[in-house]
Structure 1
């Protein structure tokens, strides 16, 4: 199974995803690397992506999920909407680790980071699109204020059970 570490920008997907992949000894992929240049340029200029912009990006991640369905893996992806997660699952089985936090906590994190193309001005658009996991979706929601090692340990335990 592939784990998709999801949440709005600034929620800690990369940090948690890399730590979880290391704990599970599986490959890791960063969703930002799947974006076409046009998406990165759009976000860098402060323009939110549309569903049409996201579709090729999500399809590319779904392919990666399919390629790692048997061996397992961890990939990050905002996966904000149920329809996006459905598209990701079209590649193969996926378990979602939703990193959830308040707008204030996430905004504080975003304002303190540098070198990322996603400006803090787009955070509200991400929260507007966010649809939490539904009860019928395999996964777990973690509080971003918890220590990374605790989130990773709990997710690993849930995956093993």
Structure 2
């Protein structure tokens, strides 16, 4: 109760107006509370989507029809996750330096959505277009690397945002 009342009291944008003057449900909330609720929703979507994406990538990667049949493929791909993560981290640091944290979070989130959609569309085209198996395997391999790398980058940014909005006392509850 103390936590939520502190958030509500810390920034009342209504300026004493009655609740009937508010147009939307979130207008009566302070910007801090609204930010936390929106980021909580974004994090829920991110982690929910990640679970679907992870299971699909793993199934495709280990599939005898589309994936890699060699038992050495999975350990090799897992070994490549760290170097691939460095590439994503470099991209993120460039965004952070050039555009700031808000734009960096937005652009890396949009990049993640774009990669997932492109991978899905490309795999569908490979299957429908009767393209060579190595092309589909390359897409599956890159998607597997991305899937194992991007989620750490995004959730770290999301928690960093929440940490910047909450006070240390609020964050410890």
- TM-score of the aligned structures, taking structure 2 as reference length: 0.24
- Bigger strand fraction: 1
The TM-score, its normalising length taken from structure 1, stands at 0.25
Q: Which has the larger radius of gyration?
A: 2
Larger relative contact order (C-alpha < 8 A, sep ≥ 6)? 1
